[in-house]
């Protein structure tokens, strides 16, 4: 499989994110065509895991361009990102949704009882369909023998839409300042937009 090279990722996260739409992500017998992503700009972005600097959790975000960053959320789900920009600078694109184009039976087994449209419709579902988790964190996808591969799209992806990121609270969730979710218009696999739920203060 042809792979995206470091030069593809070594750019602004706002350039890389929409250019990933239509690209193919492959791992462990499943290939997904990306239909929705979100951009996170590290120290410049209050919605980013790296806004306050490097930690043991986000260390992969500081890796070479094209490094996979996986993280555990809500105590039950894994999500996957692709790092971009120069090594040592934490920027990443969250893989939000896509269409399973190879390995449909494998994805169905991993997502038992879920309809085909929803196999990778949402970041946790996408990671599960691809079999991505802790063990894949830090994989440099541009390496020729890497277990996770990202291939360029064939031709034009289609019409790209933009809007606020899903479930991001605080300043990073501001729709005017951060319309950093990108998706392909008319794709049924794009996830449903949900704003962040405001935190309730305890009584008293």
Mean pLDDT of 165-184: 90
Q: Indicate the pTM of the whole model.
A: 0.92
Mean pLDDT of 1-29: 97
Per-residue pLDDT band for 204 (boundaries 50, 70, 90) equals very low
Per-residue pLDDT band for 1 (boundaries 50, 70, 90) equals confident
Cα 125 to Cα 62, 80, 96, 156, distances in angstroms: 25, 10, 9, 25
Which of 126-130, 136-140, 156-160, 169-173 shows the lowest per-residue confidence on average (mean pLDDT)? 169-173
Residues 162 and 64: beta-carbon distance below 8 Å: no
Residues 122 and 74: beta-carbon distance below 8 Å: no
Mean pLDDT of 91-120: 96
3-class SS string, 112-171: CCCCHHHCCECHHHHHHHHCCCHHHCCCECCCCCCCCEEECCCCCCCCEEEECCCCCCHH
Query: Distance (Å, rounded) from C-alpha 117 to C-alpha 114?
Result: 8
């Amino acid at each position: 499989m042809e792979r995206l090279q470091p030069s593809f990722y070594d750019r602004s996260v706002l350039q890389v994110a929409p250019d990933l739409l239509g690209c193919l992500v492959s791992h462990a017998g499943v290939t997904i065509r990306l239909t929705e992503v979100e951009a996170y700009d590290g120290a410049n972005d209050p919605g980013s895991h790296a806004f306050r600097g490097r930690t043991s959790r986000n260390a992969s975000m500081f890796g070479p361009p094209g490094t996979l960053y996986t993280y555990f959320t809500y105590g039950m789900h894994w999500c996957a990102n692709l790092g971009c920009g120069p090594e040592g600078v934490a920027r990443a694109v969250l893989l939000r949704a896509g269409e399973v184009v190879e390995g449909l039976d494998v994805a169905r087994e991993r997502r038992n009882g879920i309809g085909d449209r929803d196999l990778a419709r949402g970041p946790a579902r996408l990671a599960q369909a691809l079999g991505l988790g802790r063990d894949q964190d830090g994989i440099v996808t541009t390496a020729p023998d890497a277990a996770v591969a990202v291939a360029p799209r064939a031709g034009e992806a289609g019409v790209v839409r933009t809007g606020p990121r899903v479930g991001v609270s605080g300043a990073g969730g501001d729709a005017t300042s951060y319309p950093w979710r990108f998706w392909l218009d008319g794709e049924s696999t794009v996830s449903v937009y949900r704003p962040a739920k405001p935190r309730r203060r305890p009584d008293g």
